[in-house]
Every structure is written in structure tokens, then in C-alpha cells.
Structure 1
Amino acid sequence: MTRHPHLWSDIRDGIRDVAAPGIAAIPIGLLFGAVAAGKGLSAAEVTLMSALVFAGGAQFAAIEIWSTPVPVAALAFSTLLINLRHVLMSASLARKVAFGRGARLLGFAVMADENWALAERRALRAPVSFAYWGGMGLVFWLNWVFWSALGAVIGAAMGPPERFGADFAFTALFIGLIATFVTGRGTLLVIAASGITAALVHRFIGAPWHVAAGAIAGIAAAYLAAPREDAP
């Protein structure tokens, strides 16, 4: 019987790395399910939405403007704007993964901010194999689907997550992840430009425009900070 030590090792690494984000996602998933149920969605509909969309920010934005009849155009535009960052994330990661285009089309369907950041960090020291990405992505996807479905079932019994600080879980997680990317003045400039721009746009214009604005500012800062080759 053929053994694949690297395969199982990479799967274990992916599951281990995504454990902390998975725990942080629990109260957010429960909250989303409860809010969606309050808007009239059944537990089955919440489960299907989480399984197919798998984008917490976009799902919260959609539920926020959900009404009867459903404003399809507003839903489509707001979720598109929020999820445009996935185009940039995919483009960045595509050059660093050790699997082909077909596998990327399949595997990137479970891309989220958390497993993207973890894969980028792993790429600094080891190949990002499909086993690593798949183990991490599948577990994170199942985690989100399960807890959002449970949130729809238990509903209002949860109470607001602010009362025990769970609303800050993802923010704290990302502060830790971003800190690992700071390798010099260039990356610090990119992070500062993106964060400050997103905060200002959110304060004076509002969501979801701050997501795209922060991404554009980060790209511009990365371009300006990139070393220039002397012209021949």
C-alpha cells in the first residue's frame, strides 16, 4: 500500500493552522445565523447560503438590506463590492501555490480572508500544496456552515456577542496575522495606507466602500514602495 507522508502532513498542518480562526468564527457564525433567522430565513436557507456564498462580510451585508420583496440589484452590488478583494487575493496567491489552474478553480472556492492570510504566511517558508490548502479550506468552510446553521436554530437565545467580547475576535486575529507580514518599511507602508484609508472611508462614507478603498490604497502604496530598476 502506497503511503503519502507529505500529503497527510500537509493536511494536518492546514487543519492546525486554521484552528484559531475557526474558533474565532464560532460566535460570528452563530450571530449571522441568528440575524438571518430574524429576517425570516429558515435554518435550511441559512445553511445553503453559508455553503454557497461562504463570505461572512457579504452575507452580513446581504442580510442587513434583506426585505420582502428582495432588493436583488442592491444585494448583488453590495456583495460584489465587498467580495472584489477576492480577485486581488486570488491573484496574489495563485503565483505561490504548488498546484495547477484546475485545482485552483476548485480550491479557491473556499478562500476566505483567514485562510488566504495563513497561506500567504506559509508561502514565506514552505510550498502551499493542495493538501495543505484543501485541509485548511474544507475545515474552515464546514466550521462556518455548521455554526451559522446552529445560530439559525437557537436564534435569539445567544444574546449579543458584544457582551462577552466575541465581536472583537476576528479583529484581534487579523492584528496578529498582519503583524507577521511586517518585514520592513515597505510592508508597513502598505498596511498603514490600507488601514487608514479604510478607516476614513468607513467613517465618512460608510460600508461597503471602505473595503474597496482600503484595497486600492494598499495596491497604490505597494506600487510606490516597490524598488525601481534603473533604466538602461
Structure 2
Amino acid sequence: MNMDQANPYTSSYGRDARAGLRDIAPAAIAAIPIGLLFGAVAVAKGLTPAEVALMSALVFAGGAQFAAIETWISPAPIVALAFGTFLINVRHVLMGASLSPKVRMSRGEKFLAFFFMTDESWALSERRALDRPVTGIYWAVMAAVLYFNWLVSTTLGAILGSFLGDPARFGADFAFTALFIGLVAGFGKSRVTFVTVGVSAAVAALVHHFIGAPWHVASGALAGIGAAYFAAGKEVYA
């Protein structure tokens, strides 16, 4: 008798693990040039490869790390860096509140698991939750792949930074944008999605133009939430 047939839990764990690996693979591949780019930029700002690796391991937030390294000087402006990081990552509070009821994990497991939350793992989990459960093993596989992929690619970028030259000439600076376009497209083509993405993008672009980073991230997120609330309400009562 096949062991997977004898033990349905083994079969379920195996399927969820494979699903997590399958779903996160494109995002992980797309994140490699972004990680290389960050490592190269970081060493150009004066960080060592060891410091880049430590930053990626402890922070694990691409957008916040790029924002921090753009304003990096010596000595580092700790308060300004912390405030900027908070503004960029405050969206994770809303993302966690949205995803928490949909994942099959205990409260303690969620606190640990959500440290590894990224825009990619959140978006893929939300999409999966539309028609099937988000289990701990599914989340763990996605989180592990992205975490080690980011750690290795940023460290490698730091080591090879002087040999890579300007990563923009390879189109690496567009990788972030292309990755998020793919994630948004995966949510479907409903009116609510179009309104939410459109309002969020417009507000973020305007704030970035007139005020600057990192305010555009929080502004776009809050505008998108408000747009989604009103659009969904109108759709229900239409």
C-alpha cells in the first residue's frame, strides 16, 4: 500500500508543500535580480558583504532595505531610518489582519510566521484562500524559499557588486515593478480590484511626486483600503 494512501496527513502535507513551492517559485526567481541589485548598491554605500547579509537576515524587507540604503550615511541616521522603515512596513499590520483568519495556525505560530511575511507570500496566500485552506506547511515552504533566496542573492550581489557595474543596464531595476504587476494580475479582473489598484497607484504616484518617499507607500496603501471598502460596499448593494 502506498504510504500517502495509508496516511492522509502525509499526503496533505506533501501536496501543500509542493503547492507552496510551485506558487512561490516565479516570485523567488524574479527576486534574484532585485537581491543582486540591493547587494551591489549596499556595498557601494560602504557596507561590507557580511553587513549586507546580516541586514537581510534580520530585516528581510526589500522595500525598507532599499529605502534605508538610499539615505545611508556614516554615521547612520538611526531615528530617520527607523521612521522610514515603519512607514514602509506599516502595511504589514493590515496585511496580517486580513490574512490571519485564513491561515490554519495557532496564535503563537502566526506571530512567528508573520515575521517572514512579504508582499509575495501575502498575495499568494490571499489568492489561495479564495478556494482552499492556507496551511502552515504551505506558508512555511513559501517563507523558507523566499527568505533564503533573498539572503543568498543580496549577499552574492554584495560580493560581486564591483564586477556587476550598474545593474540598471540589465533591466534589474524593473524587476520589482514586473513582480508586483504579476501579483496584482493574479487577483482577477473584478471591478473592486481595478478600483483598488487604480486609486492606490494614483495616490502613491502623486504623493511620491509632490512629497517624496517613503510617504507614498503608506498613502497608497490607505487609499487602496478606502477605495476597496467603498467599491465592495457599492457592489454588495448594487
Question: Is this a same-fold pair by TM over 0.5?
Answer: yes
Q: Please list, as runs of the form range in 1=range in 2, the aligned pairs for 1:134-173 lying within 5 A after superposition.
A: 134-173=140-179
Q: 2:34 aligns with which of 28, 33, 39?
A: 28
Are 1:14 and 2:20 matched, yes or no?
yes
Cα offset, 1:180, TM superposition? 2.5
Are 1:116 and 2:122 matched, yes or no?
yes
Contact 2:60 2:116 in 1 (8 A): yes
Contact 1:182 1:188 in 2 (8 A): no
Contact 1:96 1:127 in 2 (8 A): yes
Cα offset, 1:195, TM superposition? 1.0
Give TM-score scaled by structure 2 length: 0.91
Residue-by-residue CA offset, 1:187-222 (whole Å, 9 max, x unaligned): 221111111111111122111111001011011112
Give TM-score scaled by structure 1 length: 0.93
- Residue 208 of structure 1: aligned partner: 214
Are 1:181 and 2:187 matched, yes or no?
yes
* Partner AA of 2:74 in structure 1: T
Are 1:63 and 2:69 matched, yes or no?
yes
- 1:75 & 1:178 partners in 2: Cα distance? 28
Instruction: Report SS of the residue matched to 1:135.
Output: helix
Contact 2:103 2:134 in 1 (8 A): yes
Q: Please list, as runs of the form range in 1=range in 2, the aligned pairs for 1:100-115 lying within 5 A after superposition.
A: 100-115=106-121
- 2:63 & 2:88 partners in 1: Cα distance? 7
Residue-by-residue CA offset, 1:44-89 (whole Å, 9 max, x unaligned): 1111110110001101111111111111111111111111111111
- 2:74 & 2:192 partners in 1: Cα distance? 48
- 1:20 & 1:139 partners in 2: Cα distance? 11
- 2:139 & 2:126 partners in 1: Cα distance? 11
Cα offset, 1:183, TM superposition? 4.4
Aligned length in residues: 230
Deviates more, 1:27-36 or 1:138-147: 27-36
Cα offset, 1:27, TM superposition? 1.1
- 2:171 & 2:74 partners in 1: Cα distance? 32
- 1:26 & 1:147 partners in 2: Cα distance? 6
